[in-house]
Amino acid sequence: MKVFIAGIDGYLGWALAQSLLQRGHEVAGADNMARRSWVEEVGSWSAVPIAPIQERIRMAGKIYGHEPLFSSIDLCDFLELRKVLHFFKPDAVVHLGQCPSAPYSMIDQSHAVFVQNSNLVSTLNLIYAIREACPEAHFVKLGTMGEYGTPGIDIPEGEFEITFRGRSAVLPFPRQANSWYHLSKVHDSHNLAFAARIWGLAITDLMQGVVYGASVRGLELTGPQLATRLDFDSVFGTVVHRFCAQAVIGKPLSIYGTGGQRRGFIALTDSVRCMTLSLENPPQPGEYRVFNQISQVCSILDIAKTVREQAIKKGIEVNFDTIKNPRTEAEEHYYQPDAHKLRALGFIPLVHLCQEVDCLLDVMAASSDRIRCKQSVLAPKIPWK
Paired sense of beta strands 167-172 and 159-164, if any: antiparallel
Residue 9 counted as domain residue: yes
* Residue 384 is assigned to a structural domain of this protein: no
Choosing from 144, 204, 269, 276, the catalytic residue is 144
Catalytic hit among 148, 150, 185, 276 = 185
Q: Where are the alpha helices (DSSP H) in the chain?
A: 11-22, 34-41, 53-64, 78-88, 102-105, 109-133, 180-199, 223-226, 239-248, 268-280, 300-313, 341-344, 353-366, 368-372
Does 264 map to a domain? yes
**How much is the pLDDT for 89?**
98
Is 383 inside any structural domain?
no
- Please state whether beta strands 262-267 and 296-299 pair in parallel, antiparallel, or not at all (unpaired): antiparallel
pLDDT at 379: 97
Asked whether residue 65 is assigned to any structural domain, the reply reads: yes
Residue 88 included in any domain: yes
pLDDT at residue 138 in the model = 98
Domain extent at residue 333 = 2-378
pLDDT in tens, the chain (385 residues): 999 999 999 999 999 999 999 999 999 999 999 999 999 999 999 999 999 999 999 999 999 999 999 999 999 999 999 999 999 999 999 999 999 999 999 999 999 999 999 999 999 999 999 999 999 999 999 999 999 999 999 999 999 999 999 999 999 999 999 999 999 999 999 999 999 999 999 999 999 999 999 999 999 999 999 999 999 999 999 999 999 999 999 999 999 999 999 999 999 999 999 999 999 999 999 999 999 999 999 999 999 999 999 999 999 999 999 999 999 999 999 999 999 999 999 999 999 999 999 999 999 999 999 999 999 999 999 999 9
Q: Is residue 385 part of a domain?
A: no
Nearest one of 183, 25, 201 to 129, comparing CA atoms:
201
pLDDT at 301: 98
Answer yes or no: is 329 within a domain.
yes
Kindly report the three-state secondary structure assignment for every residue of 53-107.
Answer: HHHHHHHHHHHHCCCCEEECCCCCCHHHHHHHHHHHCCCEEEECCCCCCHHHHCC
CATH number of the domain within which 244 lies: 3.40.50.720
Please tell me the predicted confidence (pLDDT) of residue 265.
98
Residue 64 known to be catalytic = no
For the question of residue 185 being annotated catalytic, the response is yes
Integer distance in angstroms from the first to the last C-alpha of the chain?
47
Domain count, the chain: 1
Q: Determine whether 313 is an active site residue.
A: no
Catalytic residue among 11, 64, 104, 181: 181
